[in-house]
Structure formats: C-alpha cells, structure tokens
C-alpha cells in the first residue's frame, strides 16, 4: 500500500487495500503438479468473504486496480508493446522478455515493492520464466531510468559467504568512513538467482544465506581481508529467484521473512502463443504470405506436441533428464528462427524444418529405440492433424527418408540452413569435411555410415547455435569424440 499510495490525497483506499492483501497473502499460491489450482481456490474464498469490491469474471489475480478511476481492470491494459516492435530475430530469444499477463503482473508488483526498498523473491519450477521476467525488469529499470544499476549473482552448490561477499563488493566503492555504496546516486539491485542452491555445511547452515540475512537485517557485513572491519552498505536492493525442486526445499525463514514471495506458475498456453507468436510473426513477416500463414499452426502444433511429450515421457529415477519445460519450447522456436527466405521457399519446407527441429529437441533426449518410436508416432499424428495439406508420410513411415537440415548443404562454407535433398549429398559433404580435416590434422579414419552422419549434423547444429552446448551420452567407443571433432571442424 505504501508503494501504491504516493500522495496524501488518498483515493480508492479500499481498492488499494484489497489489491495489496490479495497479492501479499495469495501471491504464494500456485497450481500444483497434482493439478490443484490453489490460486483459484484462494480467489473463490476471497470473493465469498469480501464482497465490497467486485471482480468481474476471472480470478482475483487477473486484475490490477486503476486508482484514478476507482475500478479493477485487466492486466493486459498495462502492456507495453514497444518490445515486440523492436525484436531483432537474429538475437537469441532470451534477449527479450515479451509482455504477457503473467509477466506484466509480476513485473508491475515487483516494481512497486522495489520502489519502497522491499525485496521480491520469485519461486517456481525450472523453466517457468523467473530469470527471464527478472532480467526483463532489470533491463527496463537500468536502461529507462537513471536510478538503478544491476548485478547478477548466480548461486551454486559451492557458493559460501566468502565468495558471495566478494561478489557483493564488486560494484561498491568507499563513500567515506566505513560506508560503502554504488557509484553516484544509483541504487544497486542484486539479482540473486537460484537462492537455495548452496550446500549445507557440516553445521547444517548455508553460510551464503546467513550472510544475506545479515545484510538484510543490518545492512552491513565484515571485511575479513584486513582483520575484522565493519562495512556499512547503503543503497542496495535484492531480487531473488529460487526453484524449490533443485537445491534445498526452503531457505532459512530468518532470511525468507524479509522478502515478498511470489509463486510463478508455468505460463499458460495463451501466454506461450503470445511469446513465440511475437518472434515468429516478426521473423516470417519477411517471407512469402503462404509461409507466414503457417506460423499460427506451427505454434499450436508445437504446444500440442510439447504437452503430449511431457505427458508420455515422465521423469523417473532412471530417466531423470526427462523433464520438458518452456526452455525446450524456446529451443524449438529458436531453431525455426534459423530459417532464411533463400532456403525456406515453400510452406512445406517450413513444416519439414519444424519436424526436424522438434525431433532434435525432444527426440534426441530419449534413451531407447522404443521411446523414439513412440515419439515419432506422436509427432506424425500431430503433424498430420495440424498440416492437413502437407504430406510428410515419407518421413514417418517404416523406412523413413532422411530429414536433416544443416548449414553446409550447398557447400562447406555455405552457412545457409537448408535440407539435404538426399543421403548421398550428405555423405559427399561430410566426406569433404573429413578430408579437409585430415589434410590439416592427424588422420582420423572414420567410416561415415548413416547414423554417424546424422550425429555429425546434430552436433554441428548445436554447436553453431549461440550458446549451444552439447552433452553426448553413449557407451565407450560409440564415436562421441571423433564425431564431435569432425562436427567442430566443419562448422
């Protein structure tokens, strides 16, 4: 309330109170894995109990208050679509935070809390967009106002008070006596990601967390480099994110009580369509109309495929990496943004590219032939339903044709992401690549059978992407090293 009521002339006090109460009490609720939506339940309870202010239709979390006009209104009205218009699709998807109902609400509330020096803590599962939302907000605050600087600190298993203290000091300077602060009149925002990661030491404490608690309680810490010297710290703020399913499930309550906690759920399909629609719409706007038209179908088909894959391939003790989240969706779309008008000339080629990218993201993570066959069944089904006019049966049959995109189809230095029309051309290009490698290095005597060639293409696709890191898993002698070497020398 303190943040929202900025003048003495108090308007709509009841609205402000209800809004603040809903988000401070109910902000920690979310939809659970068992399907139960605690936000909905809270909303029902609230609207039953407090009838003075009516919320039209949806849940109480879907509205903000318009103080000037004393009414509640939908979050989407606060959207600032500037970002969407400035998207540059050659940059990675992570470079922009697209406004959706979830991000608008979260960012608005965080901004209010931070304006009065209070720290928000976002809690949610892996890949639900916590980091993305905070980075977007910080970019906005740092670029568009003259009040803030920011620093990102990623906690990990080994972070302890000493390393954290060094990190916290990085942008502070001495400002007289024992006082330290960021340069000029700025406020420094520490974004501490994965807050709950540090391991427990032999005394069952997380010393990094204990240090943060000290900073929050007293705004000071001790410099241990020259004896024990007290440093007063001024004009700093914290924004944190944590995933309770990785690292410790809770953080010390003496730290947590300093935060306003908000649960971040998985984005709804509508939000996801909006996010990826913004990128694809922009990118394929430059293509033929018949290709551009496919975008909406591709997004729908990807979301279907994603939920089908998530439902079919569950995380187990053996397959602990079967965890598919928004990050994988992002990767599929990132792959589609490699499309260039010179290569993708017809709608069916775009759909082929989509099938290929989805198989790289989902199919390549599966561990057995049975799982892969199951995946291909799902993909074939969804492709047939989503793109009725385009026939891709030859890629999904019992003896499928190869469907491989790579950026060395025309020639080795071509760098145009295109499809190999047949296996012979793929073999020819890779043999050229191998010969070129062998001329300059110790000779590698590889037999390029079909699976090996496909693997080289897969690896080169990953490592030529921005921030692309590959982890090859296989028994000894399956060719991981030599295929990776060849892929690296080609791209």
Ligand X SMILES: Nc1ncnc2c1ncn2[C@@H]1O[C@H](COP(=O)(O)OP(=O)(O)O)[C@@H](O)[C@H]1O
Q: Are 65 and 15 in contact (CB under 8 A)?
A: yes
Stretch that binds Mg ion, among 9-17, 35-43, 81-89, 131-139 (CB under 5 A): 131-139
Q: Residue 111 in 3-state DSSP? A: helix
Q: How far apart are CA 361 and CA 356, in angstroms?
A: 9
Q: Which does 98 bind (CB under 5 to 8 A by kind): Mg ion, ligand X, none?
A: ligand X
- Nearer Cβ to ligand X (107/485): 107
- In the complex, minimum distance from the CB of residue 303 to Mg ion, in angstroms, rounded to a whole number: 21
Burial class for 356, CB neighbours closer than 10 Å (0-12, 13-18, 19+): buried
CB atoms within 10 A of CB 376: 17
Q: Let me know: does 208 contact 202? Beta carbons within 8 Å.
A: no
Q: Which of Mg ion, ligand X, none does residue 460 bind to, with CB < 5 to 8 Å depending on kind? A: none
Contacts of 216 by beta carbon, 8 Å cutoff, 6+ apart: 119, 238, 255, 258
Within residues 293-332, the interface with ligand X by CB under 6 A covers 326-327, 330
The footprint of Mg ion on this chain (CB under 5 A) covers a number of residues equal to 1
Contact between 96 and 83 (Cβ < 8 Å): yes
CA distance 306 to 443: 42
Segment interacting with ligand X, rule: CB under 6 A, options 13-21, 120-128, 439-447, 461-469 = 120-128
Task: Give strand pairing partners of 74.
Answer: 63
Task: Name the residue nearer to Mg ion (CB basis): 131 or 330.
Answer: 131
Residue number, 94 or 319, with CB nearest to Mg ion:
94
**138 lies in the binding site for ligand X (CB under 6 A):** no
Asked whether position 131 contacts ligand X by CB under 6 A, the answer is yes
Q: Which does 181 bind (CB under 5 to 8 A by kind): ligand X, Mg ion, none?
A: none
Residue 327 CB, shortest distance to Mg ion, in Å, is 9
Q: In this complex, which beta carbon is closest to Mg ion, that of residue 62 or of residue 102?
A: 102
Report if residue 130 touches ligand X, rule: CB under 6 A.
Answer: yes
CB 159 within 8 A of CB 198: yes
Going by the DSSP 8-state scheme, the letter that residue 221 receives in this structure is: E
Question: Which two structure tokens, joined as six digits, stand for 94?
Answer: 């992570």
- Residue 100 interacting entry, from Mg ion, ligand X, none, C-beta within 5 to 8 Å by type: ligand X
Q: Which residue has the tokens 């032999």?
A: 202
Task: Say if residue 78 is exposed, middle or buried (CB neighbours under 10 Å; 0-12, 13-18, 19+).
Answer: middle
User: For residue 314, with 0-12 CB atoms within 10 Å meaning exposed, 13-18 middle and 19 or more buried, which class applies?
Assistant: exposed
Binding to ligand X (CB under 6 A) within 83-102 occurs at 93-94, 97-98, 100
Should residue 131 be labelled a site residue for Mg ion when binding is judged by CB under 5 A? yes
Site membership for Mg ion, residue 330 (CB under 5 A): no
Closer residue to ligand X, CB minimum distance, 26 or 127? 127
9: which DSSP letter? S
For residue 97, state whether it binds Mg ion (rule: CB under 5 A). no
Show contacts with Mg ion in window 256-275 (CB under 5 A): none
Q: Which does 327 bind (CB under 5 to 8 A by kind): ligand X, Mg ion, none?
A: ligand X
Distance in Å, CB of 233 to Mg ion, minimum = 26
Minimal distance, residue 438 CB to Mg ion, in Å? 42
232, 179 Cβ separation under 8 angstroms: yes
- Note the residues at the interface with Mg ion (CB under 5 A): 131
- Note the residues at the interface with ligand X (CB under 6 A): 93-94, 97-98, 100, 103, 124, 126-132, 267, 275, 326-327, 330
């Amino acid at each position: 309330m303190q943040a929202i009521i900025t003048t003495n002339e108090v308007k709509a006090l009841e609205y402000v109170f209800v809004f603040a109460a809903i988000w401070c009490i109910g902000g920690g609720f979310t939809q659970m894995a068992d399907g139960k939506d605690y936000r909905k339940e809270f909303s029902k309870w609230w609207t039953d109990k407090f009838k003075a202010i009516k919320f039209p239709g949806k849940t109480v979390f879907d509205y903000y208050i318009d103080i000037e006009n004393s009414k509640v209104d939908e979050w989407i009205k606060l959207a600032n679509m500037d970002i969407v218009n400035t998207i540059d699709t050659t940059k990675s998807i992570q470079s922009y935070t697209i406004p959706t109902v979830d991000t608008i609400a979260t960012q608005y509330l965080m901004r209010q809390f931070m304006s009065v020096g209070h720290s928000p803590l976002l809690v949610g599962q892996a890949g639900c967009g916590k980091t993305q939302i905070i980075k977007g907000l910080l970019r906005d605050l740092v670029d568009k106002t003259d009040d803030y600087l920011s620093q990102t600190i990623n906690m990990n298993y080994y972070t302890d008070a000493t390393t954290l203290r060094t990190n916290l000091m990085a942008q502070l300077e001495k400002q007289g006596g024992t006082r330290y602060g960021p340069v000029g009149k700025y406020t420094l925002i520490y974004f501490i990601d994965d807050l709950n990661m540090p391991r427990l030491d032999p005394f069952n404490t997380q010393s990094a967390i204990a240090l943060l608690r000290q900073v929050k309680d007293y705004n000071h810490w001790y410099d241990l480099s020259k004896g024990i010297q007290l440093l007063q710290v001024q004009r700093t703020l914290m924004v944190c994110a944590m995933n309770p399913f990785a690292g410790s499930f809770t953080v010390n309550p003496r730290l947590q009580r300093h935060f306003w906690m908000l649960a971040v759920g998985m984005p709804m399909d509508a939000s996801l369509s909006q996010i990826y629609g913004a990128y694809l719409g922009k990118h394929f706007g430059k293509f033929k109309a018949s290709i551009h038209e496919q975008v909406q179908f591709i997004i729908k088909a990807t979301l279907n495929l994603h939920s089908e894959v998530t439902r079919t391939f569950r995380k187990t003790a053996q397959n602990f990496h079967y965890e598919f989240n928004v990050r994988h969706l992002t990767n599929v779309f990132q792959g589609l943004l490699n499309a260039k008008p010179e290569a993708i000339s017809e709608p069916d080629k775009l759909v082929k590219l989509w099938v290929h990218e989805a198989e790289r993201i989902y199919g390549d993570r599966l561990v057995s032939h049975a799982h892969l066959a199951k995946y291909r069944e799902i993909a074939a089904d969804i492709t047939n339903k989503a793109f009725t006019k385009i026939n891709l049966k030859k890629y999904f049959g019992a003896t499928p044709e190869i469907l491989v995109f790579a950026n060395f189809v025309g020639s080795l230095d071509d760098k145009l992401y295109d499809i190999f029309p047949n296996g012979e051309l793929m073999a020819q290009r890779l043999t050229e690549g191998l010969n070129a490698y062998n001329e300059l290095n110790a000779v590698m005597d590889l037999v390029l059978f079909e699976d090996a060639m496909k693997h080289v293409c897969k690896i080169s696709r990953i490592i030529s992407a921005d921030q692309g890191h590959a982890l090859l898993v296989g028994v000894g002698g399956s060719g991981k090293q030599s295929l990776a070497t060849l892929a690296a020398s080609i791209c």
